């Protein structure tokens, strides 16, 4: 049976924090100012992040021997932060003791597993540790926030990435392959002069074509959307039509269509003010990739990877053979 001993001595370091918890920890303002420098060397970033990680992410302290687990005041503070972040009331003493017991139990099981060597050659653990390193690298990028001038300059260089696609509003009369067969296009061509110059609102029942399985009217749709619904040929064709009259016929995967284009909007690049959050997110993603690449380059420089000669390697030697196949081969 484990025992819990309360100690009022302050901890030197805080407990393990999840990604959500770390966002609640205030970062010193000088770090933010330093990280605004775009060409800060990776060594400096490493000191800030990996050093900070050791301060923020530690296991409950083992004092004297490996059988003692010390829960510090900072551990209790972190437990309370997580508890309150879930929208709960302040934990009662009983609830706090349950949290302590859970944390202590997790620590005991982790130590026992390590003692048994269960952490060795475990691909799940390896992937998890690599993922945590990736999270640390990502934290470097989120520490940095660009100035308005830096973000505007970056946006000016990458405007093409934020171009809004063209959009169109149109209505169509549908002529079905299934219903009309080889005469489908001819039927559409014959109808065109009968509806020419008349808006969709002025068409009568005798002007109706075949029922369409989707919509007759489409508003503010993009070429990509129309390609998914009608096919690429139809999508490309309708964006070439002039608004204000019936045009066509235009072919789709379903048949032929007479199309009335109500309005068409050309591609455009929105202003920075319109999409600032999106631009900031893209800027941070780029910085993350840059920091991650520098981190990997630095890490790789400290390792040597040794593999068998691939040009002389027989791939058949790597094939996994089932026990049944092995027995048949032996016979």
List the CATH number of the domain containing 217.
3.10.50.40
Residue 142, pLDDT score: 62
Q: Which of 235, 265, 295 is at the close of a domain?
A: 265
246-251 and 167-176 as β-strands: parallel, antiparallel, unpaired?
A: unpaired
Q: Flag whether 212 is in a domain.
A: yes
Angle between helix 276-300 and helix 42-56 axes, rounded to 10 deg? 90
**pLDDT for the residue numbered 215:** 92
What is the 3-state secondary structure of 156-182? Answer: HHCHHHHCECCEEEEEEEEEEHHHHHH
Cβ-count burial of 328 within 10 angstroms (0-12 exposed, 13-18 middle, 19+ buried)? exposed
How would you label 205-222 residue by residue, b for 16+ Cβ within 10 Å and e otherwise? eeeebbebeeeeebeebb
- pLDDT attached to residue 169: 96
Q: Which residue has the tokens 């998890």?
A: 128
Task: Specify if 23 maps to a domain.
Answer: yes
pLDDT recorded at residue 275: 94
| pLDDT of res. 141 | 59
Same domain, 128 and 91: yes
Angstrom distance (rounded) from CA 97 to CA 76: 10
Query: Which of these three, 242, 265, 288, is where a domain ends?
Result: 265
* Residues 305, 310, 314: CA angle, nearest 5 degrees: 135
In angstroms, the CA 184 to CA 207 distance is: 16
pLDDT of residue 72: 85
In this structure, the number of other CB atoms found within 10 A of the CB of residue 14 comes to 19
Of 265, 288, 313, the last residue of a domain is 265
Q: Please tell me whether residues 150 and 295 are part of one structural domain.
A: yes
Domain that holds residue 282: 146-157+272-331
With 0-12 / 13-18 / 19 or more C-beta atoms within 10 angstroms meaning exposed / middle / buried, residue 144 is: buried
In total, how many domains does the chain have?
3
pLDDT one-digit tens code per residue, 101-142: 888 888 888 888 888 887 787 888 888 888 887 777 766 656
Over its length of 331 residues, how does the chain's per-residue pLDDT go in tens digits? 444 544 444 344 344 444 444 443 444 444 454 455 544 444 445 545 445 544 444 455 444 456 788 888 888 888 888 888 888 898 888 898 888 888 888 888 888 888 888 778 788 888 888 888 777 776 665 667 889 999 999 999 999 899 999 999 999 999 999 999 999 999 999 999 999 989 898 888 777 889 999 999 999 999 999 999 999 999 999 999 999 999 999 999 999 999 999 999 999 999 999 999 999 999 988 988 888 888 888 878 887 878 777 777 676 766 554 445 544 444 5
**Residues 31 and 176 occupy one common structural domain:** no
* Adjacent-strand bridge partners of 250: 257
Identify whether 162 is part of a domain: no
Polymer length of the chain: 331
The DSSP H or E segment spanning 288 is helix 276-300
Do 85 and 110 sit in the same domain of this protein? yes
Rounded CA gap, 169 and 221, in Å? 7
Smallest CA-to-CA distance from 262 within 210, 199, 317 is with: 199
Q: Is residue 7 part of a domain?
A: no
46 in any annotated domain: yes
Query: Is 188 in the same domain as 219?
Result: yes
pLDDT given at position 176 = 94
Residue 260 CB neighbours (<10 A): 22
Interstrand relation of 246-251 and 217-221 (parallel, antiparallel or unpaired): unpaired
Q: How far apart are CA 60 and CA 75, in angstroms?
A: 8
Same domain, 207 and 279: no
């Amino acid at each position: 049976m484990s025992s819990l001993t309360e100690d009022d001595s302050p901890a030197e370091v805080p407990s393990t924090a999840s990604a959500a918890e770390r966002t609640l920890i205030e970062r010193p303002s000088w770090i933010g100012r330093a990280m605004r420098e775009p060409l800060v060397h990776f060594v400096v970033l490493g000191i800030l992040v990996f050093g900070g990680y050791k301060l923020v992410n530690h296991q409950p302290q083992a004092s004297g021997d490996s059988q003692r687990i010390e829960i510090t005041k900072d551990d209790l503070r972190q437990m309370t932060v997580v508890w309150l972040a879930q929208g709960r009331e302040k934990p009662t003493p009983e609830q706090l003791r349950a949290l302590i017991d859970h944390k202590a139990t997790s620590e005991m099981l982790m130590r026992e597993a390590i003692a048994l060597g269960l952490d060795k050659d475990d691909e799940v653990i390896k992937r998890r540790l690599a993922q945590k390193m990736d999270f640390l690298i990502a934290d470097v990028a989120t520490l940095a926030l660009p100035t308005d001038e830096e973000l505007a300059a970056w946006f000016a260089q990458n405007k093409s990435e934020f171009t809004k696609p063209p959009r169109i509003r149109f209505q169509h009369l549908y002529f079905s392959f299934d219903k009309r067969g080889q005469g489908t296009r001819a039927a559409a061509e014959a109808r065109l002069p009968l509806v020419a110059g008349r808006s969709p609102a002025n068409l009568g029942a005798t002007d109706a074509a075949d029922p369409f399985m989707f919509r007759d009217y489409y508003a503010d749709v993009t070429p990509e959307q129309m390609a998914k619904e009608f096919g690429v040929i139809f999508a490309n064709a309708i964006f070439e039509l002039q608004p204000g009259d019936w045009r066509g016929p235009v072919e789709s995967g379903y048949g032929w269509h007479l199309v009335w284009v109500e309005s068409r909007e050309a591609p455009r690049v929105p202003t920075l003010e319109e999409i600032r959050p999106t631009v900031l997110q893209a800027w941070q993603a780029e910085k993350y990739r840059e920091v991650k690449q520098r981190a990997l380059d630095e890490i790789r420089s400290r390792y040597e990877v040794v593999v068998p000669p691939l040009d002389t390697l027989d791939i058949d030697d790597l094939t996994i053979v089932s026990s049944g196949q092995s027995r048949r081969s032996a016979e």
